[in-house]
């Protein structure tokens, strides 16, 4: 074989009845010997319904390899791996399939939402790109799209960046890519969450509104404020999770946001009202079913927010005063009421005190009055 001035012969797609599909090319090794390299494509063939579609994809792989060879790349010293030529769309599908076996259905929503956003951008910008071919330039362009075209906040930008890193970290671990293109990209500055505390006089008005319009909603509000139960955790509760005689609710691992089981303490008033609310209902029922009554199916989670917004409009409260604000207010008032921060941290199911103080650090409308009345004399 005459080599002339060439140090490689281009890749081509071949099909042999005995061996199936492969991409083959010749390249000179470090000793000046022209060696044949073969990439078996049979495992990828199973992913395509039609042979014509598979051949179109294989030709893209051939073009990719030839472009790299023309740029001086050599396969020697690097392991040839068919997975490196898998389309990003297929890799993302495998990623979601694996996550579905690990996470709760409602936790999967954010994963699917991000992957849908990523693949929509890919289909418009670089359709058919291989996972290993999604480089840092594309990663930067995608994150620019997140920030500039979608106009998302710094917090959402950072969440999307975290999701992107997770997808490609998984891809690297599964040999679909050699590096994570999103590593090294900087996060954005996050603005404080727009939530304000719910002072005692407002809580009294909220209670009065609930008594007149939706009595059991008052129970939800107090679970969030007194027991520091997250609204979505309360949404998952069943009557069997209540231990009223012992004064607590068990938040199981399958319910808890952090996947750590804990006991949420109950006030005497909550114990009394919960006992009335669940009387006569089977323990297997959800605590908040349709109409905020115990039921076989739980209520739509959106109903929690929708009823709060209706109440907020009726009472003329600011939009920054959200249902979750009750939990933040609970942290704040427990700490200022003399309960030690470590106990509040454990009660709130936080990993450390930094998180507890972060969410409790809201503007206190009575701060000036409190300091002026209780400050020591000079």
The rounded distance, in Å, linking the Cα atoms of 87 and 44 is: 10
Phi, psi of 199 (to 5 degrees): -70, 165
228: nearest Cα among 152, 122, 334? 334
Q: How confident is the model at residue 46 (pLDDT cuts 50, 70, 90)?
A: confident
The rounded distance, in Å, linking the Cα atoms of 281 and 109 is: 31
254 plus 149 within the same structural domain: no
What range does the domain containing 32 cover? 8-80
Quick: pLDDT tens for 307-320: 999 999 999 999 98
40, 58, 80: which is the final residue of a domain? Answer: 80
122 plus 169 within the same structural domain: yes
Is residue 2 included in any domain, yes or no? no
Q: How confident is the model at residue 275 (pLDDT cuts 50, 70, 90)?
A: very high
Q: What pLDDT score does 344 carry?
A: 73
Mind spelling out the 3-state secondary structure of 279-297? CCCCCCCECCCHHHCCECC
29, 58, 80: which is the final residue of a domain? Answer: 80
Is residue 369 included in any domain, yes or no? no
Helix intervals (H) in 214-320: 215-225, 231-236, 268-278, 301-315
288: nearest Cα among 338, 323, 263, 245? 323
Q: Which of 102-116, 217-231, 296-310 has the lowest mean pLDDT?
A: 102-116
The rounded distance, in Å, linking the Cα atoms of 66 and 110 is: 38
60, 80, 100: which is the final residue of a domain? Answer: 80
Sign of CA dihedral 124, 39, 83, 19: positive
310 plus 206 within the same structural domain: yes
Look over the chain and give the mean of its residue pLDDT values, rounded to a whole number. 85
Is residue 351 included in any domain, yes or no? no
228 with 220: CB under 8 angstroms? no
User: Can you tell me whether residue 145 is helix, strand or coil?
Assistant: helix
pLDDT of 359 > 70? The answer is no
311 plus 212 within the same structural domain: yes
67 plus 93 within the same structural domain: no
Structural domain count of the chain: 3
138 plus 223 within the same structural domain: no
Bridge-partner residues for 209, per DSSP?
Answer: none
């Amino acid at each position: 074989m005459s080599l002339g001035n060439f140090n490689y012969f281009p890749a081509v797609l071949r099909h042999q009845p005995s061996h199936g599909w492969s991409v083959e090319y010749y390249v000179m090794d470090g000793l000046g010997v022209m060696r044949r390299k073969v990439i078996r494509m049979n495992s990828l063939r199973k992913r395509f319904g039609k042979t014509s579609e598979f051949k179109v994809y294989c030709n893209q792989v051939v073009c990719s390899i030839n472009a790299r060879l023309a740029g001086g790349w050599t396969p020697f010293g690097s392991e040839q791996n068919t997975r490196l030529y898998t389309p990003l769309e297929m890799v993302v599908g495998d990623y979601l399939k694996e996550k579905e076996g690990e996470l709760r259905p409602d936790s999967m929503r954010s994963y699917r939402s991000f992957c849908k956003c990523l693949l929509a951008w890919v289909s418009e910008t670089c359709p058919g790109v291989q996972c290993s071919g999604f480089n840092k330039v594309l990663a930067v362009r995608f994150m620019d799209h997140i920030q500039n075209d979608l106009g998302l906040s710094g917090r959402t930008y950072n969440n999307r960046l975290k999701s992107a890193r997770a997808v490609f970290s998984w891809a690297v671990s599964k040999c679909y890519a050699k590096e994570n293109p999103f590593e090294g990209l900087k996060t954005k500055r996050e603005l404080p969450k727009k939530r304000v505390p719910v002072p005692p006089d407002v809580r009294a008005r909220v209670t009065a509104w609930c008594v007149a319009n939706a009595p059991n909603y008052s129970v939800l509000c107090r679970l969030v404020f007194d027991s520091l139960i997250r609204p979505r955790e309360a949404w998952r509760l069943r009557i069997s999770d209540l231990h009223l005689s012992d004064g607590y609710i068990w938040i199981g691992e399958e319910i808890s946001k952090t996947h750590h089981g804990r006991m949420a303490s109950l006030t005497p008033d909550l114990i009394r009202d919960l006992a009335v609310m669940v009387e006569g209902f089977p323990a297997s029922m959800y605590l908040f079913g349709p109409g905020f009554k115990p039921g076989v199916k739980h209520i739509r989670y959106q109903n929690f927010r929708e009823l709060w917004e209706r109440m907020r409009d009726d009472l003329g409260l600011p939009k920054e005063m959200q249902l979750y604000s009750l939990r933040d207010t609970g942290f704040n008032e427990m700490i200022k009421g003399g309960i030690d921060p470590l106990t509040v941290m454990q009660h709130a199911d936080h990993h450390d005190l930094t998180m507890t103080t972060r969410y409790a650090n809201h503007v206190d409308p009575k701060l000036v009055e409190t300091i002026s009345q209780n400050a020591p004399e000079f």
